[in-house]
Amino acid sequence: MSTDQSNPCQQPARHAPSAIILAAGLGKRMNSDLPKVLHEVGGRPMVCAVVDACREAGCGRIVLVVGHKQELVRAVFAGQRDVEFAVQDRQLGTGHATRCAESLFAAEKREPGHAVFVLAGDGPLIRAHTLAAMLDRHRATGALCTLASSVIDDPTGYGRIVRDGAGRFVGIVEHRDCTPAQLAIREVYPSYAVFDARTLFDELATLRPNERAGEYFITDVPASLLAKGRRVEVIAAVPPEDVLSINTPEQLAEVDRIYRARGSAAPGAARSVHA
């Protein structure tokens, strides 16, 4: 559902989109010192599936934000020219992690119309056609930010999509910050977003840390844009199955089962890394 705000800065060109994949997470509950995104789904590091989806959706550049044991992540993609790396040296939230990639987007920041996805590296059930649908909506409406949402039975842990009485998108509220009423919301943000690159980094420069967590959340950007009268789109494009999170070995096994059942594991795309 679109907002009512008009956007004075329409997308003028059809540049190939880029992607920023957040891949610096520690995965503390995985019972391993391996970076979370390197745990295997379909016989290879789960982040490979996210990179594949970005490529299939037409991304010309893919930037992985790495941190803990980054050399292992870099080794997986050695020789793959469309994959670049940015470093998050401290765990200060998704907004901080995304901003760590800013120096690689100097050209895109000079003019509007450069779309950049911001995605989680631990979501291997992502589908390229979901990204394509987001990009189509983003470009067709001239939005500066387009989010994908999903309605799931158990929204525990996810940011909630908050709407007003007329059903218009208001913002994303992180689980820890939800009121009791917001905790009952089942429409969630599964970390699928596409932004105008220049707008994204301008907004990240003004982010304030979350009062409870002390971290910078990219989920604060859409509400900030709305407050400035900018256009934000929300598209219900993510099947509930695709939202399954991976925080424990048991969840990893379930996602691996689903991924293999789809028959989408592509051998040889990247080298496996074992704990």
- Tell whether 89 is covered by a domain: yes
- Tell whether 210 is covered by a domain: yes
Other CB atoms closer than 10 Å to residue 228's CB: what's the count? 11
CATH number at residue 255: 3.90.550.10
Number of domain units in the chain: 1
User: What is the residue-level pLDDT of the chain in tens, covering all 275 positions?
Assistant: 444 444 444 444 478 999 999 999 887 778 788 999 999 999 999 999 999 999 999 999 999 999 989 999 999 999 999 999 999 999 999 999 999 999 999 999 998 899 999 999 999 999 999 999 999 999 999 999 999 999 999 999 899 999 999 999 999 999 999 999 999 999 999 999 999 999 999 999 999 998 888 999 999 999 999 999 999 999 999 999 999 888 899 999 999 999 999 974 444 444 434 33
- Tell whether 13 is covered by a domain: no
- Tell whether 4 is covered by a domain: no
pTM of the model: 0.89
Q: Where are the alpha helices (DSSP H) in the chain?
A: 47-56, 70-76, 94-99, 106-109, 128-141, 180-183, 197-204, 221-227, 249-262
- What's the burial of 163, exposed, middle or buried (CB within 10 Å: 0-12/13-18/19+)? middle
Check if the beta carbon of residue 27 is closer than 8 Å to that of residue 248. Answer: no
Other CB atoms closer than 10 Å to residue 230's CB: what's the count? 21
Check if the beta carbon of residue 24 is closer than 8 Å to that of residue 97. Answer: yes
What residue numbers bound the domain in which 46 lies? 18-262
- Tell whether 269 is covered by a domain: no
- Tell whether 248 is covered by a domain: yes
- Tell whether 1 is covered by a domain: no
CA-nearest of 118, 113, 45, 39 to 86 is: 118
- Tell whether 123 is covered by a domain: yes
Give catalytic residues, as residue numbers. Answer: 29
